[in-house]
Amino acid sequence: MRIAIQGFEGSFHQIAAQGYFGRHTEVECCASFAELVKKVKQQPDVDAGVMAIENSIAGSILPNYSLLKNSGLHVNGEVYLQIKQHLMVLPGQTLEDIREVHSHPMALLQCMDFLEKHPHMKLVETEDTALSAKHVHQKKLKSTAAIAGKLAADIFGLEIIAPNIHTVRNNYTRFLVISRNGTAPVPDANKASVYFHTSHERGSLARVLTKIADAGINLSKLQSFPIPAREWTYYFHADMEFDDLELFNKGLARITPLTENLKVLGIYKKGNTH
Amino acid sequence: MRIAIQGFEGSFHQIAAQGYFGRHTEVECCASFAELVKKVKQQPDVDAGVMAIENSIAGSILPNYSLLKNSGLHVNGEVYLQIKQHLMVLPGQTLEDIREVHSHPMALLQCMDFLEKHPHMKLVETEDTALSAKHVHQKKLKSTAAIAGKLAADIFGLEIIAPNIHTVRNNYTRFLVISRNGTAPVPDANKASVYFHTSHERGSLARVLTKIADAGINLSKLQSFPIPAREWTYYFHADMEFDDLELFNKGLARITPLTENLKVLGIYKKGNTH
C-alpha cells in the first residue's frame, strides 16, 4: 500500500497511516492538504490518503472539510492518535549538552512546562517536528535536540532523552482515511460521515436531529459551514454512530425528505479512541 | 468612544467600528485578537471592541469563539460588512505606471481575476491591506499600488484607480461588538448569542433544538467545539433570532434543564446584512 500523507517522513501523519495500514506502509509525502487530496484523486500508485480532520484541543480543521467535500473522495476509516512529544538527540548526547531545541512552534508550545525548567535551552522554531529530527541527524548536530514523535527518532536514529514532555495529556488528533473507492460499507461498519443542507424553515435542523435520535443513531459530531453561494446559510457535516447498519439506512431514509443535497461521504468502522 | 480593533488604521475592522459607532470613532489598534480582548477587558479608556467572528466564504474564526467565551466579556451588537477591495495609488499615477501591487496574500487572492488581466504587475505579499496603503503613502512610492478597503485610501490620501476588483461579490464578514458591560438587552433586541453543553444522552441536542423552535426562536448559527478537558465531547455556540424578547426568555427557561453550563453571551439588535 502507498498512502499519501501531509508533511514529512516521521510525522504524526505517518504514525497514523502505520496505525491503520500496518508498519510497512509506504508513504507519499505532500506539502499541503490540497496536494494530498489531489494525489489521492489523480495518482494511480497512491492507494489512499490519511488526513487530519480535528484535534481534541484545537478543534476542527475547517478547510479540510471543504477539501473533502469538493474532492469527490470517500471516507473509508478513521484513526485517533494521541500526540506525544519527545526530546531527541544524536546518540551519546545528554540533557546537559543541549543548547538548542528545534521544533514546530505548536510543539514547542505544547512542551512549555518542560522547556521552562531548562532555561539554558534556546528555542528555534522550524517548519515541522519530523523535519527538525531529520536536520539533527543529517547535519550531525551536537548540543541540539529536536522535539518530535517517536517515529522520527526511529527513522533518523536519534535517542529519546526525555520522553512524553508534552504538558496536556488528552491531546488527540483524528485522521480520516480517504480514497477513490466508493462507500460500500466495510464489515462491522458502525459510523458514517454525511453532509446536508436544511431548509430555512424554523426548526428544520431540530426535525432532522430528532429523526436521527429516533432511529437509534448517535450524533458524535455536528459542524456547521457557510454556503459560499448563499450568504449566511449553512450546511452541516455530521458524524453518526450506530450499532447496526440497517438502523443507519432507515434513519437516512427518514431524514432524506427533510434535507437538501444529503450526501454520504463514507460508512466505516469507528476508530479506537485509546 | 474609543474602540479596540484588530489590525491597523484603515483596516476593515475600523470600517466596521465606524459603521456601528459612527464616523468619528477613535480606534485603538491591536496586533492580535488576544490583545484586542485583553484591552477591552483591562484598559479603562477603551469603551468596547469590534472583533471579526465569521466570514461568508472562509467560515467561522474558531479561535475567536474561545477567546470570547474565556474572556467574560459580553456581546452588545454585531456588524456585517461586505469586503470590497480597491486598487489605490499616489495621486496622478495611472494603471499603466504600476509595476508592483502590495497587499495581504488573501486580498491578492480575492482579486486574482483582475490581477491576471494585468500580468506586468508584480505581486508583493505584505502583512496587512491597510499597512500596504500606508507604506505607499509614507514612502511616496510611485509605480506601486496597494489593494485595500476604501477607508485606507481616504486616510492615506491615495487615489482609487480600479474600484471593486474583488472577484467574489458575496464576501461578507460578521463582526461582534464586545464590551465589559453586562447583557442588559438593548431596545428592540432581537438576537442573542449563547453557549451550552448537552448531555451525552442520545438525542439531547435534538431535544434542545426542538424546544428552541417550539418557542418561535430561529437558530441562525450553530457551531460545535471540542471541550479540551473531556476528549471528544462538544459544547455549542448558538445564535438565535426572535421577534419578541419574551419569547426568547421563555425559550431559554425551557432549554435550561436540558443543557449544562448554559450562558448568555449577549442580547442585542441584529445587524443589517446589506
Confidence tier at B62 by pLDDT (50, 70, 90): confident
Which of B82, B222, B233 is the mutation pick for testing A, counting most A CBs within 10 A? B222
Which range (A181-195, B38-52, B113-127, B152-166) has the least confidence?
Answer: A181-195
Contact B73, B48 (CB under 8 A): no
pLDDT at A230 (0 to 100)? 65
Minimum mean pLDDT range among A134-138, B56-60, B166-170:
B56-60
**DSSP-assigned letter for residue B56:** T
Looking at residues B142-149, what average pLDDT do you find? 97
A19-28, A225-234, B45-54, B146-155: least confident range: A225-234
Q: Which residues of A touch B64 (CB under 8 A)?
A: none
Which residue of B206, B218, B228 is in closest CB contact with A57?
A: B228
A272 vs B37 pLDDT, higher one: B37
Which residues of chain A does B273 touch, with a Cβ-Cβ cutoff of 8 Å? 231-232
> CB contact, 8 Å: B243 with chain A?
no
Q: What is the CATH number of domain A191-268?
A: 3.30.70.260
Is B167 in CB contact (< 8 Å) with chain A? no
Average pLDDT, chain B: 91
Count Cβ atoms below 10 Å from residue A252 Cβ, excluding itself.
20
Minimum mean pLDDT among A184-188, B134-138, B202-206: which range?
A184-188
Q: Which residues of A touch B168 (CB under 8 A)?
A: 228
Q: Does domain A2-83+171-179 have CATH number 3.40.190.10?
A: yes
CA of A185 to nearest chain B CA: how many angstroms apart? 23
- Over 90: is that where the pLDDT of B163 sits? yes
What is d(CA B156, CA B154) in angstroms, rounded to the nearest whole number? 6
What CATH number matches the domain at A86-162, 3.40.50.1820, 3.40.190.10, 1.10.10.2840, 3.10.20.80?
3.40.190.10
- Average pLDDT on A26-55 reads 95
CA distance A158 to B185: 60
Scan for cell 468502522, then name that residue.
A269
Q: Does A202 touch chain B (CB under 8 A)?
A: yes
Contacts of A210 in chain B (CB under 8 A): 203, 206-207, 210
pLDDT at residue number B223:
86
Tell me the pLDDT of chain A averaged across its residues: 91
**Measured between CB atoms, does B28 come within 8 Å of chain A?**
no
**Beta-ladder partners of B264:** B194
Structure confidence at residue A53 as a pLDDT band (50, 70, 90)? very high
Residue A228 has pLDDT above 80, yes or no: no
pLDDT of residue A229: 63
Residue B228: predicted pLDDT? 64
pLDDT tens for residues A242-262? 999 999 999 999 999 999 899
Chain B residue with the nearest C-alpha to that of A234: B221
Listing DSSP states for chain A in one string gives -EEEEES-TTSHHHHHHHHHH-TT-EEEEESSHHHHHHHHHH-TT--EEEEEEEETTTEE-HHHHHHHHHH--EEEEEEEEE---EEEESTT--GGG--EEEE-HHHHHHTHHHHHT-TTSEEEE-S-HHHHHHHHHHTT-TTEEEEE-HHHHHHHT-EEEE----S-S--EEEEEEEESS--PPPTT--EEEEEEEE-SSTTHHHHHHHHHHHTT-EEEEEEEEEETTEEEEEEEEEEEE-S-HHHHHHHHHHHGGGEEEEEEEEEEPPPP--
**Residue B274 — very low, low, confident or very high, per pLDDT cuts 50/70/90?**
low
Across the interface, whether the CB atoms of A226 and B168 are under 8 A apart is answered: no
Residue B218 is nearest to which of A57, A202, A220, comparing CB atoms?
A202
Residues of B with CB below 8 A from A219's CB?
205-206
Q: Which residues lie closer than 8 Å to B181 by C-beta, 6 or more apart?
A: B48, B74, B76
In percent, the amount of chain A with pLDDT more than 90 equals 73
Per-residue pLDDT band for A61 (boundaries 50, 70, 90) equals confident
Pairwise CB contact (< 8 Å): B220 & A232: yes
pLDDT band of residue A123 (cuts 50, 70, 90) is very high
Q: Is the pLDDT of residue B122 over 90?
A: yes
The pLDDT, as a whole number, for residue B249 is: 94
C-alpha cell at B93: 499615477
pLDDT of A84 reads 96
Confidence class for position A181, pLDDT limits 50, 70, 90: confident
All structural domains of chain B with their residue ranges: 2-83+171-179, 86-162, 191-268
Integer angstrom CA distances of residue A272 from A52, A173, A217? 15, 12, 19
pLDDT tens for residues B5-19?
A: 999 999 999 999 999
Give me the pLDDT at residue B250, please: 94
Q: What is the percentage of chain A residues whose pLDDT exceeds 70?
A: 97
CB nearest to A210's CB, from B55, B57, B206: B206
State mean pLDDT over A45-72: 89
Report the alpha-carbon distance of residue A97 to residue A100 in Å, rounded.
Answer: 9
The reply to whether B234 touches chain A by the CB within 8 Å rule is yes
Residues of A in contact with B214 (CB under 8 A): 203
Cβ atoms of B173 and B107 within 8 Å: the answer is no
The verdict on B209 touching A (C-beta cutoff 8 Å) is: yes
Identity (one letter) of the amino acid at B242?
F
The predicted pLDDT at position A63 comes to 84
Q: Do domains A2-83+171-179 and A86-162 have the same CATH topology?
A: yes
Distance from CA of A133 to the nearest CA of B (A): 28
Question: Quick check: helix, strand or coil at residue B111?
Answer: coil
The predicted pLDDT at position A55 comes to 85
A231 contacts chain B (CB < 8 A): yes
- Nearest residue in A to B234, CA atom: A221
Chain A and chain B share a number of CB contacts under 8 A equal to: 98
**All cell numbers assigned to B72:** 467574560
Contact partners, residue A180, CB within 8 Å, separation at least 6: A40, A41, A73, A74
* Close Cβ partners of A145 (under 8 Å, ≥ 6 residues apart): A87, A88, A89, A93, A98, A100, A101, A102, A121, A136, A161
- A46 or A126: which leads in pLDDT: A46
Nearest to B59 among A56, A62, A214 (CB): A62
Q: How, if at all, do strands A48-55 and A2-6 pair? A: parallel
**Mean pLDDT along residues A146-165:** 97
Shortest CB distance from B205 goes to which of A56, A168, A209?
A209
The full length of chain A comes to 274
Which site among B175, B202, B234 would you substitute to test the A interface, given the most A Cβ atoms closer than 10 Å to its Cβ? B202
pLDDT of residue B226: 74
Mean predicted confidence (pLDDT) in B62-71: 89
CB contact under 8 A, A56 and B223: no
Given this model, what pLDDT does residue B117 score? Answer: 94
* Angstroms from B220 CA to nearest CA on chain A: 8
Q: Given a cut of 80, is residue A273 above it in pLDDT?
A: no
Question: Which residues of chain B have a CB within 8 Å of the CB of A209?
Answer: 203, 205-206, 209
Across residues A116-128, what is the average pLDDT? Answer: 91
Model pLDDT for residues B178-233, shown as the tens digit of each residue: 999 876 778 889 999 999 998 777 888 999 999 999 999 998 888 888 776 666 67
Instruction: Tell me which of A48-52, B1-5, B233-237 is least confident.
Output: B233-237
Is the Cβ of B54 closer than 8 Å to some Cβ of chain A? yes
**Local confidence band at B259 (pLDDT 50, 70, 90 cut-offs):** very high
A168 at interface of B, judged by CB pairs closer than 8 A? yes
